[in-house]
Amino acid sequence: MDQFWNVTSELLKGFGQNCTIFGLTLLMAIPLGLIISFGSMSGIKPLKAVVRTFVWIIRGTPLMLQLFVVFYIPSLVWGISFDRMTAAIIAFVINYAAYFSEIFRGGIESIPKGQYEAGQVLGMKKSQIFFKVVLMQVVKRITAPMSNEIITLVKDTSLARVIMVPEMLKAAERFTMQGLIWPLFYTGVFFLLFNGLLSLLFSYIEKKFNYYKG
Amino acid sequence: MSMLQVENIQKSFGKNEVLKNISFSLDKGEVLAIIGSSGSGKTTLLRCINFLETPQQGKITVNGNTLFDAETFDKVSERELRRRRLHFGLVFQNFNLFPQYKVMENITLAPSLMAKEQIRENGEYMGAKTMRQAQQAIRDEADQLLRKVGLYEKRESYPCDLSGGQQQRVAIARALALNPDILCFDEPTSALDPELTGEVLNVIKGLKSANSTMIVVTHEIGFAHDVADRIIFMDGGLIEEEGTPQQVIDNPQSARTREFLARFNQFGD
């Protein structure tokens, strides 16, 4: 029993790291993703090309590789280095911002032109049309794909172990090396519980938006 | 001096010249109906007047103020453009209500945003000195407009819970809330089931008796005949014929007009 509590507390310590990566990534990747989505819809052709190429590279390469790049390249090339956690968060934010930006772009482009025109003829500013008319409709439309990505993010945080961030799977692996295999499988419970809570939250949000159609 | 003067409007999309030198004028309190087959340019003309399209040539003047001049239009700031827009209101074919807002909020959203801006900058909005007073005035006005279009009891509903005819009446109230000098309608009944067109047309008739100045692009020839003071028949980006309903619809002079109207009569319109 002592062993169980010992393992649980070690894993929880590791899971704290997962939660940190999760929280900070979400916090920063959403606004960054919105900015990227504006770039990929921009009327300025060179900007649009640069942004879309960037999204292609980020979505087209493994997150694990991106973790290595952010952690090792700066120190190899410029002799500066981020600590492991910072490097992990930078890689996660960039990666998820690229995915989010495509969801945002899809959502924004799905809003009929007539909504913008109605705002225009009512004398509204562009920013007012976006924030007061379009944004809420976009949020409703992207709730389902965003919940998918966010649930994936929870699980992806364990990838940070490749650059030695002491997250939960890393902690479980240490037990494995001591000949204790079950903690590795036990980690699944933490992910399941966390994602269960998230799923409840998302279905609550979806219900909240059900008051109107369209 | 007419209220609205449209001079030599020319608009092309790429190589396709949709409007070729359109000119007309409109007096205060007058109702103008624009008829013509699809692709004749009537909707584009209405969109040009509402600054949703920018003509390559021409001039638009309201009450002696030049609102659009193709020569200088690219120098007009967004702020100034927004101010100029308010001379016109536009009711769309597809209503374009904001689905996430209640009927009441659909009507008060734009005036509230306007009030906030004007109170911040000039210290007042239509006599109201505080946002609180302004909100009250805007809501009272919206109540009145909803009574006018017969939907007061629906003010807490969402657009998705209304019929097409009701949605279009809300859209009319929304456009009226900003007190435009000229209210424009872009085929206001084309997206409606036939049995719902009457209620919308009746609201427009009601506005005519209240002396509103209106431009109505429509396929409802009978309605145009009853309500319009003047009719423009457009064909191929040009005004083919213009005059009173009696002149244009009952005694068309142009062969194209006769042909167009014959097609309508054939279906017993």
Residues of A in contact with B102 (CB under 8 A): none
**pLDDT surpassing 60 at residue B119:** yes
Strands B230-235 and B238-243: antiparallel
Interhelix angle A2-40/A135-156, rounded to 10 degrees, is 140
ipTM of this complex prediction, to 2 decimal places: 0.92
Q: Does A128 touch chain B (CB under 8 A)?
A: yes
pLDDT tens readout for residues B2-22? 899 999 999 999 999 999 999
Q: Which CATH number fits domain B4-98+178-266: 3.10.20.30, 3.40.50.300, 3.40.30.10, 3.40.50.1820?
A: 3.40.50.300
| pLDDT score of B269 more than 70 | no
DSSP state, residue B151: -
Q: Is the pLDDT of residue A105 over 90?
A: yes
Minimum Cα–Cα distance from A134: chain B residue:
B98
What 8-state DSSP symbol labels residue B74? G
Spacing of C-alpha B82 from chain mean position? 16
Of A121, A124, A211, Cβ closest to residue B90:
A121
Structural tokens at position B192? 């409606």
**Which phi-psi region, left, alpha or beta, contains residue B109 (left: φ > 0; alpha: ψ -120 to 50)?**
alpha
The pLDDT score that the predictor gives to residue A81 is 83
Q: Tell me, what's the pLDDT at B267? A: 58
What one-letter code names the amino acid at A185? F
**So what's the pLDDT on residue A3?**
87
User: Does the beta carbon of B54 lie under 8 angstroms from any beta carbon of chain A?
Assistant: no
pLDDT: is A103 or A3 the higher one?
A103
- Kindly determine whether residue B178 and residue A122, on different chains, have CB atoms separated by under 8 Å: yes
User: Among A78-87, A156-165, B88-97, whose mean pLDDT is lowest?
Assistant: A78-87
Residue ranges covered by each domain of chain B: 4-98+178-266, 101-157
* pLDDT tens digits for range A29-41: 999 999 999 999 9
- Indicate if the pLDDT at residue B84 is higher than 50: yes
Residue A152 Cα, gap to closest chain B Cα (Å): 29
| B90 touching chain A per CB within 8 A | yes
**pLDDT of B214 strictly over 90:** yes
Q: Could you say which of A128, A137, A214 has the minimum Cβ distance to residue B160? A: A214
For residue B82, give the nearest of A112, A114, A123 by CB distance: A123
Q: For residue range B136-195, what is the model confidence (pLDDT) as tens digits?
A: 999 999 999 999 999 999 999 999 999 999 999 999 999 999 999 999 999 999 988 888
Residue A108 — pLDDT band, cuts 50, 70, 90? very high
Q: Does A114 touch chain B (CB under 8 A)?
A: yes
Is the pLDDT at A170 greater than 80? The verdict is yes
pLDDT digit string, tens, across residues A59-88: 999 999 999 999 999 988 988 888 999 999
Residue B59: beta bridge partners? B7, B69
For residues B34, B39, B45, B50, the Cα torsion angle rounded to the nearest 10 degrees is 110
3-state helix, strand, coil in chain A (%, to 5): 85, 0, 15
**Residues of chain A positioned with their CB less than 8 A from the CB of B51:** 120-121
Q: What is the pLDDT of residue B266?
A: 65
pLDDT tens for each residue of A187-212:
999 999 999 999 999 999 999 888 88
Helix axes B131-148, B164-176, angle to 10 degrees: 140
SS3 of residue B222 by DSSP: helix
State the residue for tokens 């807002």: B101
Name every chain B residue with its beta carbon within 8 A of the beta carbon of A211.
158
* Statement: residue B1 has pLDDT above 80: no
Q: What is the pTM of this model?
A: 0.86
Q: What percent of chain A has pLDDT over 90?
A: 86
Q: Which fold has domain A2-112+142-211?
A: MetI-like fold (1.10.3720)
SS3 category, A212: coil
Question: For all residues of chain B together, what is the average pLDDT?
Answer: 92
